[in-house]
Amino acid sequence: MPPLMKLIFSRLALGAVTLLAVSALMFVGIELLPGDLAQQILGQSATPQTLAAFRADLGLDQPAHLRYLDWLAAAAQGDFGNSMASRRPVADLLSTRLANTMFLACYAAVIAVPVAILLGLLSALWRNSLFDRSVNVGALGAISMPEFFVAYLLVLFLSTRLGWFPTLARIDEAASFGDALYRSFLPALTLILVVIAHMMRMTRAAVINVLAAPYIEMAQLKGVPRWRVIVKHALPNALAPIINVVALNLAYLIVGVVVVEVVFSYPGLGQLLVDAVASRDFPVVQAVGLFFAGTYITLNVLADILSILSNPRLRHAR
Amino acid sequence: MSKLLDIRGLRLEAGPMGGRTTILHGLDLTLNRGEVLGLVGESGAGKSSAGLAAMGYTRDGVGITGGEILFDGIDLARASAATLQDLHGRRIAYVAQSAAASFNPAHRLIDQFCEAPLLHGTAARAAAEADAIALYRQMQLPNPDQIGFRYPHQVSGGQLQRAMTAMAMACRPDLIIFDEPTTALDVTTQIEVLGAIRDVVERYNTAAIYITHDLAVVSQMADRITVMKHGREVETAKTRQMLAAPQEDYTKSLWAVRGLKRPERSAPEAGPLLSMRGIEASYASAKVLQGVSLELPRGQTTAVVGESGSGKSTLAKVIAGVLPPSNGVVVWQGSPLPGRYQKRDRATLRHIQMVYQMADTALNPRHTVRGTLERPVRHFTGLRGAALGARVNELMELIELDPAVFLDRLIPELSGGQKQRIGIARALAAEPEFIICDEVTSALDQLVAEGILRLLLRLQAELGLTYMFITHDLATVEAIADRVVIMQQGRIVETGDQSRIFSDPQSDYTKRLLASVPQMDAGWLNGVRQRLAS
């Protein structure tokens, strides 16, 4: 399938270019912030001489574009440098946080994606029924509340009142897998409630849209049961929009959860990024930002490729 | 013969409570085992709804509000969903109008064939596949051993329609509903499909309801014909009797549509209005026109005839400047035209106008009739105020619609024929010399289409217009064309005066095309198949 490979290759190339552009934008963004790391660490009372020496030590006296190119050259070889604030390698800082973030994202996704698609299919099957309406009201209600509010409601009821789950999701290497699941249940549930509505609504809309097609009527007139019509005849033709929404929500679960992390004191990447921006810790911001951008791009490219593969016209040439 | 289907006093209603419209007003139909009943009528006659109701099925928003549908003693109007699900596909099957839209694009043909036998438990997978291949062979599909393993988009329309008939046969049903199965096909393809359908229906002694608006087609397929209008039966008779001696006025008017004839005209004035030399054009890498040269005589109608994919609409796009040719030149009144319409001067743009096939999509549904017509008048003639209003009224008179009634209606509030008239008025607003009519009647019922053709002929006589009339329908060509151009695969196969083309076609393709037009004669299909086979 050369045309398909060409398509996939061009998407990947575009993704790489986007990643490069994002890294440059982030660098410019940090440059535009008032103050710098030296000022931040040494404080207002530092003499100009000490500031200058400290800057020279960190390499901050170099022109901006040279610093960017240096960083880029090193990053291309997998070296993201040391944190300016803590002097520890960025890779070390990131690794535990990254694992935590991925754990929480996977935890939420493994539950949210199948549940959302199943609810979407069921509400398409029983369109305009009581079930359909209540699922929609529930999902829209959950998405309409700010995520910190959902989080506090869950803490209030499931933790403070009922005492089923811990308020703070502190996890460390010592915790067993089951223990980690238990301790991070509330943040995961918050995220599930936030992302389900979007995916469920899109599944429902995409399937209902396909239900108007003549081949659906044909399937019914062949005596195919309703549920099978939805799963076998409608869903395969509704996959492209569903895949795209799932990808967007997965990206959100990895990238956009800083508020939930803060509420539950969960040691994820989001908190690390916020701290690094506050202290103008450029290497950490760059590395985390690049990872976030990479996540978005990878998931979107993946969604693109999967939607292409879900189309038999592109999979099987004439 | 025993009765298989007995529909008594069937009423169908649609729409929300309060604003309900009646689709069928108490229809009676009977069908014996092995019999083929033709259901004929114009759009809106309720024939498709009646066909679906014969399966106990109604579309969303439509309900059965009276009568009974007895299929082999079971009343489908009151049967449970489970009963219907069991009958559908197993004892009653359906063949839809557009096979391309009615095959699921996500599954292979043979998987869709096997679905019903497996669900209904009439055959195991291997047996069903073997049966599919046998039926594909009987339907004269090319490469029957392999074709089932292809996806719908990999198979042509005529082949899909035969594969769909094979699929309907999968459980050897007692009854098949054919809903306009050949309407979307080219005439030469239609013959193959009609022949294959009839063979297989005869072979398995399957009863069928054959729904169509084409009288010539139904007379080949049906033992008996029922004519419908506005949800009521007009008359029913044996096919030969119906063709020879229709009783009702409505039936006679349907039969008489093919009598339209253009007035005799003197020879054309000197010099063509428009000519083309060596036109080549392509979409991306696909070459659609390969060296087309053509002259359009002034004040006459040149019909461009061809099947889908022959390049006839592309030719129109090249003339209109929408698709610049990659080679060749369009000459307008002696001087060459730029390839793109953006580079043409306003006088040329004004003199070349188009009327489209789908008036539904060619007119902006948010505009009123007045808005639709005022804009081109203002743009091309610069008229304002009272003069503009007078001109719009004049245009409405030209197309025989009462301005007082129609000017302030929105486009969706018009019928199909009225919309097409507005499409013509919009072209006339520019006061053109030349109008390209692209399949302007193919989406319309025969009676309405005839009205449009009469209108076009009258306007031509009054305003001295030159038409290029693109169509695949040879009956239309015979009715209105002076000159005929036959196209096939991007080339001109034959050109000539209309009477000569019809009486003495030279190329094999023209001969085959002419032979393929269904005739109102019950023996036509047999005759033409024998001739084509030999």
Best probe of the B interface among A125, A208, A221, by most B CBs < 10 A, is A221
In a domain, A21, yes or no: no
CB within 8 Å: A218 and B94? yes
Section B213-221 average pLDDT: 86
Question: What are the chain A neighbours of B90 within 8 Å (beta carbons)?
Answer: 223
What pLDDT shows up at residue A65? 82
CB within 8 Å: A218 and B151? no
Q: What is the pLDDT along chain A (318 residues), one digit of tens a residue?
A: 567 778 778 888 888 898 889 888 888 887 777 766 677 667 777 777 877 887 777 777 777 788 888 888 888 887 777 777 777 888 888 888 888 888 889 999 999 999 999 999 999 999 888 999 999 999 888 888 888 888 888 888 887 788 787 777 777 766 777 777 777 888 888 889 889 988 999 999 999 999 989 999 999 999 999 999 999 999 999 998 999 999 999 999 888 888 888 888 888 888 888 888 887 777 888 888 888 888 888 898 888 888 888 888 877 776
CB within 8 Å: A223 and B94? no
- Whether B35 and B224 have beta carbons less than 8 Å apart is answered as yes
In a domain, A286, yes or no: no
Sequence-distant contacts of A65-72: CB under 8 A, at least 24 apart: A68/A24, A68/A27, A71/A27, A71/A282, A71/A283, A71/A286, A72/A23
CA distance B336 to B333: 8
What is the SS3 assignment for B231-265? CEEEEEEEHHHHHHCCCCHHHHHHHHHHHCCCCCC
CB within 8 Å: A237 and B104? yes
- Whether B163 and B103 have beta carbons less than 8 Å apart is answered as yes
In a domain, A288, yes or no: no
| Ordered alpha helix ranges (H), A33-89 | 37-42, 48-58, 64-76
Per-residue pLDDT tens for A130-172? Answer: 999 999 999 888 888 888 888 888 888 887 788 787 777 777 7
CATH code at position A222: 1.10.3720.10
What pLDDT shows up at residue B257? 61
Residue B17 pLDDT grade (very low, low, confident, very high; cuts 50, 70, 90): low
Surface of B (158-217) touching A: CB under 8 A? 167
Section B165-183 average pLDDT: 91
State which amino acid sits at residue B109.
L
In a domain, A67, yes or no: no
Best probe of the B interface among A218, A224, A235, A239, by most B CBs < 10 A, is A218
In a domain, A55, yes or no: no
**Is the confidence at residue B467, as pLDDT, over 90?**
yes
What pLDDT shows up at residue B270? 66
Question: What are the chain A neighbours of B107 within 8 Å (beta carbons)?
Answer: 236
Section B171-175 average pLDDT: 92
CA distance A122 to A53: 66
Per-residue pLDDT tens for A274-309? Answer: 888 887 777 888 888 888 888 888 898 888 888 888
Buried b (16+ CB within 10 A) or exposed e, B91-100: bbbbbbbbbb
Q: What string of DSSP letters covers B37-98?
A: EEEE--TTSSHHHHHHHTTT---TTEEEEEEEEEETTEETTT--HHHHHHHBTTTEEEE-S-
Q: Which residue of A has its CA nearest to B116?
A: A222
**Nearest CA-CA distance, residue B266 and chain A, Å:** 50
**Is the confidence at residue B368, as pLDDT, over 90?**
yes
Domains and CATH numbers, chain B: 3-256 (3.40.50.300), 299-311+344-503 (3.40.50.300)
In a domain, A166, yes or no: yes
In a domain, A291, yes or no: no
Q: Which residue of A has its CA nearest to B87?
A: A223
Question: What are the chain B neighbours of A218 within 8 Å (beta carbons)?
Answer: 94, 96, 102-104
For the question of an ipTM over 0.90, the answer is no
What pLDDT shows up at residue A200? 93
Q: Residues for chain A: how many in total?
A: 318
Q: Which residue of B has its CA nearest to A221?
A: B88
Could you list the residue range(s) of the whole structural domain that residue A260 is in? Answer: 99-279
CB within 8 Å: A222 and B104? no
What pLDDT shows up at residue A232? 92
Cα separations (Å) of B10 from A29, B91, B139, B396?
73, 21, 34, 41
Question: Please, how many CA atoms are within 13 Å of residue A114, restricted to the half-sphere of its CB?
Answer: 4
CB within 8 Å: A316 and B154? yes
In a domain, A262, yes or no: yes
| Ordered alpha helix ranges (H), B103-186 | 109-120, 125-138, 144-147, 157-168
**Is the confidence at residue B344, as pLDDT, over 70?**
yes
Name the domain count of chain A: 1
Find the chain A residues whose C-beta atoms sit closer than 8 A to any C-beta of B: 213-215, 217-225, 228, 233, 236-237, 312-313, 316, 318
Distance in angstroms between the alpha carbons of the first and the last residue of chain A: 12
**Is the confidence at residue B367, as pLDDT, over 80?**
yes
Cα separations (Å) of B340 from B284, B313, B412?
17, 16, 32
What pLDDT shows up at residue B138? 86
Best probe of the B interface among A215, A239, A309, A315, by most B CBs < 10 A, is A215
Residue B268 pLDDT grade (very low, low, confident, very high; cuts 50, 70, 90): low
The mean-pLDDT minimum among A30-34, A92-96, B147-151, B445-449 falls in: A30-34
CB within 8 Å: A312 and B151? yes
**Nearest CA-CA distance, residue B176 and chain A, Å:** 11
CB within 8 Å: A222 and B89? yes
What pLDDT shows up at residue B449? 87
- Whether B416 and B451 have beta carbons less than 8 Å apart is answered as no
Residues 6+ apart with CB under 8 A from A217: B59, B96, B102
